[in-house]
Amino acid sequence: MSVCGTGLHTGKYGTITFIPAPPGYGIKFKRIDLPGQPIVEALVENVIDTARGTTLGKNGATIYTMEHALAALTGLGIDNVLIELDVEEIPILDGSSKFFVEAFKHAGIVCQDTIREYLIIEDEIRFIDEDKGSEMIISPCDTYKLDVKIDYGTEVLNIQFAHLHQLADFEKEISPCRTFVFLHELEFLLKNNLIKGGDLSNAIVFVNRKVSQEELDRLAELFHKPKVKVKDEGILNNLDLHFENEPARHKLLDVMGDLTLIGKPIRGHITALRPGHYANTEFAKLIKQQIKKPVL
């Protein structure tokens, strides 16, 4: 099963193919466009960057922006798969996990004849990033639950909450939720030669300051749109929200994708305040370290 599209930051068009793998294989990426077709395991030990997305790297091979695809795998309970890429960045598609979920379900998901090994949380584990105001907690639970709170201190995007207490709800409640950006961030990214694959169809753009028509016209020209304007709720008119709290739901999606890098399905209750890719992946490392500690 394959998915094609353009990478958000690199702007490169490519194809990723998901190949069934045997029990115990885990999730791995294979760069078929590079000499030797190197493999990069989807493990937090291979995280090399978390700016504007999570990047994996090993032996000179890099994989950019893989968190949305990994969230779809976790949301559907898929543990073993080889992901072949002919490009360095996973396609952004519409900025959500929706199309990955649809592709997996269309291809079919096979139940393997083996006992599933879970990462079971027995004691609370907490990660705090005081500089960014992030706090991540995981506590014992018989299932996989997530609660997320975001707070950017802006009027246009108020405090929001999102939760997922049953993985069965992932497809409908979380997977369609798209990434978002503030207008000032968008301008910075453009000036720094990033989001080459952005076209205003794969992100919610929040406008947290007054914008002149001249600026809006410039944005429209940059993204090949006839016209853009600011809607009453403070977002550009490039799209409509799927949910009132879609940004919080997308942050939950990102948490799921990044924590997939632990390497095992989780049994634990995650509470996240102002999560981001750095906090998510540092939290994943901390969980693995704590779980590996010997019992005294």
Burial readout 132-166 (b: 16 or more C-beta within 10 A, e: otherwise) = eebbbbbeeeeebbbbbbbebeeeebeebebbbee
Residue 6 is predicted with a pLDDT of 87
Domain-embedded: residue 249: no
Question: Do the strands 180-182 and 2-6 form a parallel or antiparallel pair, or are they unpaired?
Answer: unpaired
Domain-embedded: residue 259: no
When pLDDT is averaged across residues 145-167 and rounded to a whole number, the result is 94
Domain-embedded: residue 180: no
DSSP states along 150-164: E--S-SSS--EEEEE
> In this model, does residue 294 exceed pLDDT 50?
no
Contacting residues for 110 by C-beta, under 8 A, at least 6 apart: 20
Domain that includes residue 62, residue range: 2-116
Domain-embedded: residue 288: no
DSSP-derived letter for residue 93 is T
Domain-embedded: residue 124: no
When pLDDT is averaged across residues 227-250 and rounded to a whole number, the result is 86
Across the strands, what pairs with 56?
Answer: 47, 63
When pLDDT is averaged across residues 130-149 and rounded to a whole number, the result is 96
What does pLDDT average to over the chain?
Answer: 89
Domain-embedded: residue 168: no
For residue 19, give both structure tokens: 């190949």
Q: How many CB atoms lie within 10 A of CB 114?
A: 11
When pLDDT is averaged across residues 43-64 and rounded to a whole number, the result is 94
Distance between CA 44 and CA 28 in Å, rounded? 12
| C-beta contacts of 119-125 below 8 A and 24+ residues apart | 119/262, 119/263, 119/264, 119/265, 119/266, 119/267, 119/268, 119/287, 119/291, 120/267, 120/268, 121/266, 121/267, 121/268, 121/269, 121/287, 123/290, 125/286, 125/287, 125/290
Distance between CA 175 and CA 177 in Å, rounded? 6
**Which is catalytic among the residues 9, 68, 250, 277?**
277
- Percent of residues, the chain, with pLDDT higher than 70: 93
- Start-to-end CA distance of the chain, whole Å, equals 47
* CATH code assigned at 27: 3.30.230.20
Across the strands, what pairs with 19?
Answer: 82
Domain-embedded: residue 272: no
CA torsion sign, 152 to 157 to 163 to 164? Answer: negative
Distance between CA 55 and CA 25 in Å, rounded? 21
Domain-embedded: residue 206: no
Distance between CA 66 and CA 81 in Å, rounded? 14
When pLDDT is averaged across residues 34-46 and rounded to a whole number, the result is 97
Q: How confident is the model at residue 271 (pLDDT cuts 50, 70, 90)?
A: very high
Q: For the chain, what is the domain count?
A: 1
- 24: phi then psi, degrees, rounded to nearest 5: 85, -5
Coil vs helix vs strand at 146: strand
Residue 296 is predicted with a pLDDT of 36
For residue range 211-234, list pLDDT tens digits in order. Answer: 788 878 877 777 667 778 888 778
Respond yes or no: is residue 277 known to be catalytic: yes
Q: Which amino acid would we find at residue 218?
A: R
Q: What is the pTM of this model?
A: 0.91
> In this model, does residue 26 exceed pLDDT 70?
yes
Residue 220 is predicted with a pLDDT of 76
Task: Tell which wins on pLDDT, 69 or 8.
Answer: 69
Task: Tell which wins on pLDDT, 75 or 290.
Answer: 75
